[in-house]
Amino acid sequence: MRNPKPKEWQAKDYSQNYIADYKPYNFVDGEGVRCSIYVSGCLFACEGCFNKAIQNFHYGTPYTKELEDRIISDLDQEYVQGLTLLGGEPFMNTEVCLHLVDRFRAEFGHTKDIWSWSGYTFEELIVDTEDKLELLSKIDVLVDGRFELKKRDLRLQFRGSSNQRILDVPLSLQSQKAIIWEKCIDPLAK
């Protein structure tokens, strides 16, 4: 696993705007029915990563307007709760993610939510590049932190290792400290 210094890894230097996968109408990538986009490329190289193939920034296919239109159309279904950004590393693919998130907000405002997974922690993101902070400011829930194989726990809600957190992003940004999402269920706290 690699640990970057603030502003060391910049999306503009790595992202190829490739998408590894798009999964509409799933129930595993956050609360409710979601449309999930998996961006390509990640530098963290966590031991035990379950998406190892998409660590490559050239994996998959280029992001297109046609895919974006399909995602927005799928999100328009009444029963869909929101959009999920995964990867790979969404915060290393900010051009794609910001474009999609901005269109999402223009179409749906805050009637639907945005989740993201990231190997970055909240504390790292708030001192990193402007594009990462901008993306962070536009999402609702962040599952943060690198996956740590030695801390893997299959009982955890929406995350793979006990160091990872489910954060309420607007509250965290307002207080400038990580605030756990109110619906987080943590079996380790019982």
Q: How many Å apart are CA 99 and CA 26, to the nearest integer?
A: 22
More confident residue, 80 or 190: 80
Tally: H helices and E strands in the chain: 6, 7
Q: Which of 40, 44, 41, 36 is nearest to 20 (CA)?
A: 40
> 45: domain range?
11-189
Average pLDDT of the chain to the nearest whole number: 94
In a domain, 5, yes or no: no
In a domain, 151, yes or no: yes
Sheet harboring 141-144: ordered strands across?
Answer: 61-62, 18-26, 33-39, 80-87, 113-117, 141-144, 165-168
User: pLDDT tens, 25-54?
Assistant: 999 999 999 999 999 999 998 888 878 899
**Which DSSP category does 190 fall into?**
-
| pLDDT at 161 (0 to 100) | 87
In a domain, 2, yes or no: no
Q: What is the pTM of this model?
A: 0.94
| pLDDT at 48 (0 to 100) | 84
In a domain, 4, yes or no: no
In a domain, 32, yes or no: yes
Residue 187: pLDDT band with limits 50, 70, 90: low
In a domain, 78, yes or no: yes
| pLDDT at 2 (0 to 100) | 85
Residue 188: pLDDT band with limits 50, 70, 90: low
Q: What percent of the chain has pLDDT over 90?
A: 81
Residue 190: pLDDT band with limits 50, 70, 90: very low
In a domain, 6, yes or no: no
CB contact set of 155 (below 8 Å; sequence gap of 6+): 187
Alpha helix (H) residue ranges in 15-144:
65-75, 94-108, 122-125, 130-137
| pLDDT at 176 (0 to 100) | 95
User: pLDDT tens, 97-129?
Assistant: 999 999 999 999 999 999 999 999 999 999 999
Q: Which of 161, 164, 158 is nearest to 185 (CA)?
A: 158
CB 37 within 8 A of CB 68: no
Could you tell me the two tokens for 142? 């962040």
Q: How many Å apart are CA 65 and CA 81, to the nearest integer?
A: 22
Angle in degrees, 0-180, between the axes of helices 65-75 and 94-108, rounded to the nearest 10: 40
In the chain, how many domains are there?
1
In a domain, 48, yes or no: yes
Is residue 64 scored above 50 in pLDDT? yes
Is residue 8 scored above 90 in pLDDT? yes
Q: Which residue has the tokens 């829930």?
A: 141
